[in-house]
Amino acid sequence: MSDDSVLCIIPARGGSKGVPRKNVRLLAGKPLIAWTVEQALETKSMHVMVSTDDPEIAEIARGCGADVPFLRPAELAQDETPTEPVVEHAINWMRSQGRMPRAVMLLQATSPVRLPSTLTRAIEEFDQSSYDSMVGVVPQAPFLWALDSAGGQPVASYDVAHRRRRQDMSTHDLRYRETGSLYLTKPEIYTEQHNRLGGRIGLFVMDEIEGTDIDTEEDLLTAERQLRQIGLGSGS
């Protein structure tokens, strides 16, 4: 029943409040969803599936070459629907076809800025590791603050008396922000834990330019600028 492929699932719901219809909005000359589909299709040994409830998104995704074998049920396309049940729905569809991939790559269409080698590198790192799941992150300096639960006083996550320069920090000194762009997971983690992250978790360090997540109109402008910066998109 299992095969040697990686199932790539790209969830793309039709509804969006922050940026209406954002998955079909033009970004540097292409619909937003097209960027992630095309990046995934350039990666070998990957079955690229788009899970959507929206016929227009489905048509665009199919036109780019993705597999869209179903329209997602309405109960899995609500504002409050978590991502994990959507992924499990796609995995179960694959299982119904007598196939079970060795790994599941979850790509968010709202994070369209990825370098050409990123997805291949992620699969290689996952295959060479003993991870059960892996999360895409970008490094950042640890100059982070929180409010304590007692009196709401600010608390630093670093030693304010010995502030270090970013360029003097090692990888162990940095913090790593989850991009939301990319996750790689063994299918049994979804089946048993109903989570994209579980078991032995690894960090997949991405380039800082790949950390954009589109929630606002300003984010769209930022992503377009970044795509052109790395030589992609119309006008590059």
Residue pair 48/37 in contact (Cβ under 8 Å)? The answer is: yes
Q: Which has the closest alpha carbon to 64: 84, 81, 85, 42?
A: 42
Whether 163 sits among the annotated catalytic residues: the reply is: yes
CA angle 87–90–134, rounded 5-degree value: 40
Q: Which structure tokens are listed for 235?
A: 């006008």
The 10 Å Cβ neighbour count of residue 206 is: 24
Q: What is the rounded distance in angstroms from the CA atom of residue 75 to the CA atom of residue 81?
A: 8
Question: In whole angstroms, what is the distance from residue 228 CA to residue 54 CA?
Answer: 28
Give the active site residue among 21, 99, 163, 175.
Answer: 163
**Cα 196 to Cα 93: distance, rounded to the nearest angstrom:** 17
**DSSP code of residue 161:** G
Give the distance, in angstroms, between the CA of residue 177 and the centroid of all CA atoms in the same chain. 13
**Beta carbons of 190 and 92 less than 8 angstroms apart:** no
Residue 157 CB-density burial (10 A; 0-12 exposed, 13-18 middle, 19+ buried): exposed
Chain-centroid distance of CA 5 in Å reads 19
Could you tell me which of 182, 178, 167, 181 has the C-alpha nearest to residue 139? 178
The catalytic site residues sit at 163
